[in-house]
Amino acid sequence: MNLNAFFESELDEHLDVSSKTRAILSEPFAALVALTTDVVRAGGKIMLFGNGGSAADAHNIATEFAVRYKTDRAAIPAIGLTTDGGVLTAIGNDFGFDQLFARQIEALGKPGDLAIGISTSGRSPNVLEGLKTARRMDIRTAALGGGTGGDMIDLVDLALIVPSKTTARIQEMHILLGQMLCGAVEVELGLVPAP
């Protein structure tokens, strides 16, 4: 294996996806910033969820909101629905894996909140069920996806769909977009000065 060629190829693909993301997601990103800011200003919270790497992204983004992004500031109410082992295993055992996020949204969500589903394929059954439950409860919905967006597109108010079919590249853009979302919402809420 030519490691230098591998290194260059991966970075080239990353930069290509990053460039395409920059070209098409500016307006949807601004809309998600506005939606998230409105939800928080009105007293709502942000719930994020996904599987595997997307679960880790949900947890990371929720942490950035609740703790801080770059500087100390007031907490922004956010929770990753991917971290409570007791709840996850009980729901999986008692209701089935497809209900992991729907059941938590039913327990924790309220009208005026924001549910953000994260799925590289847009076809994860438990993410889709979570978004369906959120909609039934008059909770605003958004998605971070990839490729065509899958079935999530029809279940959300806003979608940021990364223009790639490569899971790793999509996840790289998801964490970038999630952290940018946190940084922009902080500024919009007046919690930190604009850069």
Count of structural domains within the chain? 1
User: Is residue 29, in this structure, part of any structural domain at all?
Assistant: yes
Q: pLDDT tens for residues 83-119?
A: 999 999 999 999 999 999 999 999 999 999 999 999 9
Q: Residue 175: what are its φ and ψ, rounded to 5°?
A: -70, -35
Please tell me the distance from the alpha carbon of residue 1 to that of residue 134, in angstroms, as a whole number.
47
User: Is residue 7, in this structure, part of any structural domain at all?
Assistant: yes
- Identify the domain containing residue 119 by its residue range: 3-188
User: Is residue 77, in this structure, part of any structural domain at all?
Assistant: yes
What's 45's domain CATH number? Answer: 3.40.50.10490
User: Is residue 195, in this structure, part of any structural domain at all?
Assistant: no
Label the pairing between strands 158-162 and 46-50: unpaired
Q: pLDDT tens for residues 28-64?
A: 999 999 999 999 999 999 999 999 999 999 999 999 9
